[in-house]
Amino acid sequence: GSYYVLPVIRGPEGGGLTLTTRNGNQCPLFIGQERSEVERGIPVKFSNWRSRVGFVPESENLNIKMDIEPTFCAQSTYWWATTAPSPWRSAFIAVGPKPEAGGEDSSRSFFQIKKTEAKLNAYKFVFCRDGNDCIDVGKNEEGGVRGLVLGSTPPFATP
């Protein structure tokens, strides 16, 4: 199935996840957030796990895909961690090919779902390059565009 990812705190924090551009370039695309809390965004699908269990597991390496047809950039919409452009800037989450295809380093496409430490009764995404050393996925606004990034505080939490 597909799942909408919405922030745990509603209101000016924004809505669900969507695809966005950065720096005025049409391609590549990145994972962004709708500006309005009433926008549910694009649902996601999880793969690389046993869907027969009936739920999406915590603390398992997952591939996440935006549940939308390939875009005008002619690329699939699987989540990939990028490299930060500089030490003081965040690494954004981009979309790219299915991890097994394309010959890229598939370890850049492993994300997990974990419970938040705060008493929000919520979950967060983390990026886990080697399966254990995980970094929170948060959000950052740059040039008026909200995007998901690695290492931002607080994490992007969802109920």
Is pLDDT of 7 > 60? yes
Tens of pLDDT, residue by residue over 21-39, are: 888 888 889 999 998 888 9
Among residues 129, 127, 71, 75, the alpha carbon closest in space to that of 102 is found at 75
More confident: 107 or 15? 15
Omega cis (within 30) before 28: yes
Domain presence at residue 51: yes
pLDDT over 80 (residue 98): yes
Closest CA to 147 of 84, 103, 100: 84
**How many domains is the chain partitioned into structurally?**
1
Q: How confident is the model at residue 159 (pLDDT cuts 50, 70, 90)?
A: low
pLDDT band with cut points at 50, 70 and 90 for residue 41: very high
Residue ranges making up the domain that contains 112: 17-158
- Is residue 59 domain-resident? yes
Residue 4 domain flag: no
Q: What is the pLDDT of residues 112-124, one digit of tens each?
A: 999 887 677 788 9
N-terminal to C-terminal alpha carbon distance within the chain = 17
- Above pLDDT 70, what percent of the chain? 82
For residue 105, the domain's CATH number is 2.80.10.50
Kindly give, in sequence order, each residue whose CB lies less than 8 Å from that of residue 13, ignoring residues fewer than 6 positions away: 7, 37
Reply yes or no: is the peptide bond before residue 154 cis, omega within 30 of 0: yes
The answer for residues whose C-beta is within 8 angstroms of residue 94's C-beta and 6 or more apart is 28, 29, 30, 31, 79, 80, 81, 82
Contacts of 5 (CB under 8 A, 6+ apart): 16, 17, 41, 43, 44, 158
User: With 70 as the cut, is the pLDDT of residue 131 above it?
Assistant: no
- Quick check: is 30 in a domain? yes
| Residue 118 domain-assigned (yes or no) | yes
Residue 10 included in any domain: no
Give domain status of residue 8, yes or no: no
